[in-house]
Amino acid sequence: MRLKTTAILVLALLTLAGCSGGSEMTQPANTSPSVSAQSGDVKISLSTDRQTYARGETINMTMKVKNEGSATMTYSFVSGRQFDFSAVHSGGDLWNYSHGRNYTRGTTTVKIQPGETWTKAVSWDQIVNAGTLIPAGSVEIGAIVPGRGSNGRDNPQVGPLRITIQ
């Protein structure tokens, strides 16, 4: 049931981010692909270290949340889960960074000062939540801060960032 709920949330994330017009994908020559979105005074960006990967090769991804406003931005969370990354393959295979991880119970917070950037980086071995290697093809990566923001904007998210598995 958790996997189905997670899959629905990720698909909603990717659909909303893709339709919002708030995300823009950039990929200058010889640089890492990235996508970004604005949520009030907060800019959230997602990048990978390359556009194309061999099947089974580690994918390094980074989410940055920058406070571009003049006031401290505070995110409140209902657990220790303060961020998540996701990947969806055109064949429906799904991965979430949070899948199978244990988080502390109780409210936690993250404060981002004006001009400050909060960065989270993870590596993914291309194994989906079901325990199999993702097939070759197009993969859409997303990231989310699943918290209540002091700016009245909750759950800032970014994506999809499209990469290719060969």
- Tell me the average pLDDT across 77-99: 92
Domains of the chain: 2-165 (2.60.40.2360)
CA dist 64 and 71 (Å) reads 18
Q: What is the mean pLDDT of the chain?
A: 85
CA 61, 157, 26, 133 dihedral sign is positive
User: For residue range 136-154, what is the model confidence (pLDDT) as tens digits?
Assistant: 999 999 999 999 999 888 9
Share of the chain above pLDDT 70, in %: 81
This prediction has a pTM of: 0.80
CA dist 117 and 119 (Å) reads 6
Strand, coil or helix: what is 6? helix
